Amino acid sequence: MGAPVTLVLIGAGGRMGRALQGLLPEFPALQLKAVAGSQTTADLPAALASAGLAIDFSTAAASAANLAACVRARVPLLLGTTGLPASLQPELAAAARHIPLLVAANTSLAVNLLLELVSRAAEALPDSFDISIAESHHRDKRDAPSGTALALGAAAQAGRAAAGRAGLEIPYAVSRGGDIVGDHTVHFNGAGERLSLGHQATDRAVFARGALAAGAWLARQPPGRYRMQDLFGKK
């Protein structure tokens, strides 16, 4: 193993930021260089100087500025912030020409497997099966539906499209309350039967471990746009 990758953690004071810092000792390939708050700060460019990786779990409002700072510094970026505006997509595409970039609505290994299962089920089952998604999170989660729920919806739409069937509209049921880490279920409702594919997270550590593992991998890749599935050999 070579020298550790120096890490800048953006959004260090949030739930995920604290979880990432707590689990860093499990990842000797990463060495914390600097932390930044939930918003872009004037010292972010200095923090990124000579860094090997940035992980951003801050806010959607700060994502464009944080992305631009990473591009200027040529620092690989794992962007885990959810609720990103659609207007950011061209900037993400442009950034991937200069830095390794991984945008993940959810960094859990099991959730990324669930995305594949949902896509396959949507492709295999006929249009007579209606698809709906239910998700629950803690009371402080801002975006609704969650980024993971939207990713599951996109996976279902991609599955239908792969079978030559488009135009799928998916309803979302959203619940916020307590300290729920994250529950997601995709229902395939047919005549006389229902298939449900779901995931329950009981510990935020699953997302933090996935993000740190993906970050260590991303830091050694060439510029380009990557997915969590790439980390596990899924293309």
Q: Which domains does the chain have, with CATH numbers?
A: 5-103+205-231 (3.40.50.720), 109-201 (3.30.360.10)
pLDDT band at 6 (very low <50, low <70, confident <90, very high): very high
**Residues recognised as catalytic:** 137, 141
Task: Calculate the CA 227 to chain-centre distance.
Answer: 9
pLDDT score at 39: 56
**Integer Cα distance of 229 and 85 in angstroms:** 23
Its pTM stands at: 0.81
pLDDT score at 38: 57
pLDDT score at 235: 47
In terms of Cβ atoms closer than 10 Å to its own Cβ (0-12, 13-18, 19+), residue 161 is: middle
60 pLDDT more than 80 = yes
Q: Which two tokens stand for residue 101?
A: 């970039």
212 pLDDT more than 60 = yes
pLDDT score at 14: 85
pLDDT score at 42: 58
Per-residue model confidence as pLDDT tens digits over 7-42: 999 988 888 899 999 999 999 999 999 988 755 555
Which region among 39-43, 121-125, 138-142 has the lowest average model confidence (pLDDT)?
A: 39-43
